[in-house]
Structure 1
Amino acid sequence: MKSRPDSRLDLIVIGGGLAGTAAACLATTRGLSVARVAANAGGLAFAGGPLDLLGVYPPREQMVRDDPWEGISALIEGSPRHPYAVLGVDAVRRAMGEFLAFADSAGLRYCGMAERNVTIATAVGTLKTAYRVPRSMWRGVTALQDRLPTLIVDFEGMKDFSAAAMVEVLRSRWPRLQALRVTFPVRFPGIDRHNPLLAEALESSEIRAKLAEAIRPHLSGVLMVGMPAVLGIRAGDRVVADLEERLGVGIFEIPTMPPSVPGIRLQSAMEEALRKRGVQIFDGRRVLCARTEERLCAGITVGGAGEWHETMEAQGIILATGRFLGGGLSASRDGISEALFGLPVVQPPSRDRWHRGSFLDPRGHPVNEAGLAIDDRFRPLGEDGSFAFENVFAAGSILAHQDWVRTKSGAGLAVSTAHGAVEGFLRYRSGK
């Protein structure tokens, strides 16, 4: 049975995605007592593994950025209301550094090239720009960069990953690329729907030995082998190292469609580390209401299965509930609304202006920048243009004036705005 929350916490973080998780991580490293509440368990399963900071800017010109910091500086100058502009380059840098250090302490090692972005091939053969990638994917970065002779392996029955299709798309960029399909050593009904089961199976040394045996005859002239990101559910680095020893070549994972095994690894490792630090995690708990008065939020009431509910009190609240998919924003015929506090949402004046005439319009769609406006402490603004609540802060994709999908900045936005929200709370508590 999970422990009951303390009667008075420093912070309650609402949201189980990357922004909410990062906020809990950064808060606990500052000695704060924290509870994290999430309606949907497994929010990080939609994270593919690589962490992007800023890959494209301006998005209208599709300008790919090798130097994300140069790109962020350009974004701040061109989009002064973007959350990165509220933070500034130095704060984004500190936030990313702290988060990566926390991940490392939790057993998750990310790799990169100093202060630059790297390029990684995805399961569909497209190229993705990222700031850091899990160590299990790193050899894929170097193999692509040096165009090394590489074998891409998939598993019979796996519908969301095709080695042959990936090789076909990448052939002009990566000539010495080959495809191989093998039968996975363990039979699962509907293998394409159970990637986590494949990862669980590969925790077994016996299963890895059988997989290596199936691949070994096809390694003539091959220096690297890439496989879908299912190489272990908990110990991905150990599974990769073991397969490298068995096959005598470099092994790397390739990002797949969600639910993502690297995302599950991230969630599992982070939540274990948070619990060890005393963070109370309440997954599958929906926030029923917030108790507010005179621009302060004293606490929230959360509910779960059946009639279970509990009131939790805290000095501050961080709202990291996401946009539409996460449930932070709700769209109706009358417009877009914020789900918990009824905060005003920056949005186009009418529904017919949400989208442009062409789906692929290079300017993007105005609705993609809908969200909450904030002050310099990351407090959402009310109708009068000042903060709505003195002790409520917001982080992640719920924030307005940003289109993280088109700028390839999802992880950077989540982590850096979580940092901004935590720092905003500390300033509030200190009275500064």
Structure 2
Amino acid sequence: MNYDVIVVGGGLSGFVAAAKAPQMGKRVLLLREGTGCFPFLSGCIDLWGCRGGEDPTTWIDRRVAADRLHPWGRLRDVLEDSISFLREACAPYVSYVASGGENIVVPTPLGVPRPTFMAPHSQYRPGWEDARKILVAGFREYRDFSPALVAANLNRWRGRGEAATSVTTDLGISRYVDAPTLARLLEKERYWRLFVEQLASRMGKSTLVLAPAVFGMDSSAELLTRLGRVLGAPVMELATLPPSVPGLRLQRALRRYVLARGVRVTDNIRVTEAEVEGGICRAVIADDGLRRRRFEGRSFVLATGSFVSGGFTGYGDHVTEPVMHLPVHGRGLVAGDEPFFATQGREFMKVGLLVDENLHPVDDKGRVLYNNVFVTGAKLAGQDHAVEKSGTGVAVASGYKAGLKS
């Protein structure tokens, strides 16, 4: 079957591209090798890591003025529209909250605050940091979250002595579990009641409860509302270590959205090469573990990520893009070449593909290589998401623009 748009890669930017393209009347195929970045995402959308109360677009504009190669220089025109689109697409399952055009502050699983632009409603309440008495709840069976550590760090940050306390509940399970498993257990009435009874007995005068993000796999709204009624205090979730439930909720919300709009999603398939001719990509070849398959399309979105996902391979001056063999800008990691912890960032993080204003890949002289290929997300050169804290924002904006232009 011939498709109007073939999206290669099922991370955040790939799903957003696959979600936007049907609005433009396109027939879309999404090819996914694995789960993408979602198990590693907090569920929040970061535009720039400036402080809470500051406008991230001001910092973005400064960065673009100083570095014309930064991805935000190609995406600034769709930033606001892309964020609105994501909120609408996820709304039935993940409700997002923001504070106008400013960053908000959310608590982390270490008990220290961090800025973000938009957070799931379950992870943010205005004024949470001023709560008089906070109770941090954990689970004996879930060892990737320490309520005592969270409470201690909250007290250090807030400077209020013992204003935050902790409790560890016990579901009576004989093994340790990860966050998704715990989320599914709490959807069962037996474990839910056991947790609520123990937590209610320890509430005291607490005015806010913080707990790991494990209140249901699809949506936390119903369970959190029930819990708040019983406890007589609001409850906030904290994003956890991978596999992250909020990240998986975001994936499930976007997957439902694209399927409802006729997008064909093919999982567990690895795109290995592309057929190109005269500056046009004609098809991609993929391996599903049983056979090689060929998919023809009019446009292609390359959303295969960076080094971690195999979107780039190699090191030093030998970094390659393995699907379309596009020229890679920048230098990969070389042992001992840079300090591992560098507050100013590391050059190998900026490795990627150069693109024009429409996200077409270009060479080092700015010449378009394939005018029906669009590059998104972590593949874009010039960004250091570890320092800038803008990776999810770039993913959403670039996926949206690729879906719009393809």
Distance 1:315 1:252, change over 3 A: same
> Alignment partner of 2:241: what SS?
coil
One-letter identity of the residue aligned with 1:158 = Y
What TM-score, normalized by structure 2, do the two folds share? 0.94
Q: Which residue of 2 aligns with 1:403?
A: 384
Q: Deviations over 1:380-399 (max 9, x none)?
A: 11365411111111000111
Q: Which residue of 1 aligns with 2:168?
A: 181
In 2, distance between residues paired with 1:287 and 1:87? 26
Q: Deviations over 1:159-206 (max 9, x none)?
A: 2110111122221223221111111x2515222xx2111100111233
C-alpha root-mean-square deviation of aligned residues, in Å? Answer: 1.9
Q: Which runs of 4+ in 1 moved over 3 A?
A: 350-355, 382-385
Q: Which residue of 2 aligns with 1:248?
A: 232
User: Do residues 92 (structure 1) and 79 (structure 2) align?
Assistant: yes
One-letter identity of the residue aligned with 1:341 = M
One-letter identity of the residue aligned with 2:306 = R
In 2, distance between residues paired with 1:362 and 1:64? 20
**Residue number among 114, 136, 152 corresponding to 1:168 in the alignment:** 152
Distance 1:315 1:362, change over 3 A: same
Q: Percent of aligned pairs with the same residue? A: 28
Asked if 1 retains the 8 angstrom alpha-carbon contact of 2:179 and 2:240, the reply is no
In 2, distance between residues paired with 1:361 and 1:265? 32
Asked if 2 retains the 8 angstrom alpha-carbon contact of 1:381 and 1:387, the reply is yes
Q: Which residue of 1 aligns with 2:65?
A: 77
> Alignment partner of 1:72: what SS?
helix
Asked if 1 retains the 8 angstrom alpha-carbon contact of 2:19 and 2:403, the reply is no
Write out aligned runs for 1:149-164 (5 A): 149-164=133-148
Asked if 2 retains the 8 angstrom alpha-carbon contact of 1:99 and 1:415, the reply is yes
In 2, distance between residues paired with 1:201 and 1:161? 17
User: Do residues 142 (structure 1) and 123 (structure 2) align?
Assistant: no
Asked if 2 retains the 8 angstrom alpha-carbon contact of 1:354 and 1:366, the reply is no
Distance 1:70 1:385, change over 3 A: closer
One-letter identity of the residue aligned with 1:143 = W
> Alignment partner of 2:6: what SS?
strand
Q: Select between 167-176 and 151-160 the one with higher mean Cα deviation.
A: 167-176
Distance 1:374 1:113, change over 3 A: same
In 2, distance between residues paired with 1:73 and 1:383? 23
Asked if 2 retains the 8 angstrom alpha-carbon contact of 1:373 and 1:381, the reply is yes
In 1, distance between residues paired with 2:244 and 2:167? 22
One-letter identity of the residue aligned with 2:300 = I
In 2, distance between residues paired with 1:355 and 1:245? 55
Q: Which residue of 2 aligns with 1:337?
A: 320
Instruction: Count residues with an aligned counterpart.
Output: 403
Q: Deviations over 1:69-104 (max 9, x none)?
A: 22222222122211111233x421111111211111
User: Do residues 274 (structure 1) and 274 (structure 2) align?
Assistant: no
Asked if 2 retains the 8 angstrom alpha-carbon contact of 1:229 and 1:256, the reply is yes
User: Do residues 22 (structure 1) and 8 (structure 2) align?
Assistant: no
Asked if 2 retains the 8 angstrom alpha-carbon contact of 1:11 and 1:315, the reply is yes
Q: Deviations over 1:91-130 (max 9, x none)?
A: 21111111211111x4221012111111111111232211
One-letter identity of the residue aligned with 1:227 = A
Q: Note the C-alpha offset of 1:65.
A: 7.0
Q: Which residue of 2 aligns with 1:376?
A: 357
User: Do residues 424 (structure 1) and 368 (structure 2) align?
Assistant: no
> Alignment partner of 1:172: what SS?
helix
In 2, distance between residues paired with 1:360 and 1:54? 20
Distance 1:129 1:355, change over 3 A: farther
Write out aligned runs for 1:217-228 (5 A): 217-228=201-212
Q: Deviations over 1:211-250 (max 9, x none)?
A: 1100112111101111111111123111111111221111
What TM-score, normalized by structure 1, do the two folds share? 0.88
Asked if 2 retains the 8 angstrom alpha-carbon contact of 1:404 and 1:413, the reply is no
Asked if 2 retains the 8 angstrom alpha-carbon contact of 1:377 and 1:423, the reply is no
Distance 1:148 1:70, change over 3 A: farther
User: Do residues 264 (structure 1) and 228 (structure 2) align?
Assistant: no
Distance 1:64 1:246, change over 3 A: closer
Ranges in structure 2 where 5+ consecutive residues have no aligned partner = none
Q: Note the C-alpha offset of 1:324.
A: 0.4
In 2, distance between residues paired with 1:320 and 1:125? 33
Q: Note the C-alpha offset of 1:28.
A: 1.9
Asked if 1 retains the 8 angstrom alpha-carbon contact of 2:302 and 2:374, the reply is yes
In 1, distance between residues paired with 2:314 and 2:112? 32
Q: Deviations over 1:292-318 (max 9, x none)?
A: 11111111122213x233211111000
Asked if 2 retains the 8 angstrom alpha-carbon contact of 1:296 and 1:389, the reply is yes
Asked if 2 retains the 8 angstrom alpha-carbon contact of 1:27 and 1:422, the reply is yes
> Alignment partner of 1:321: what SS?
coil
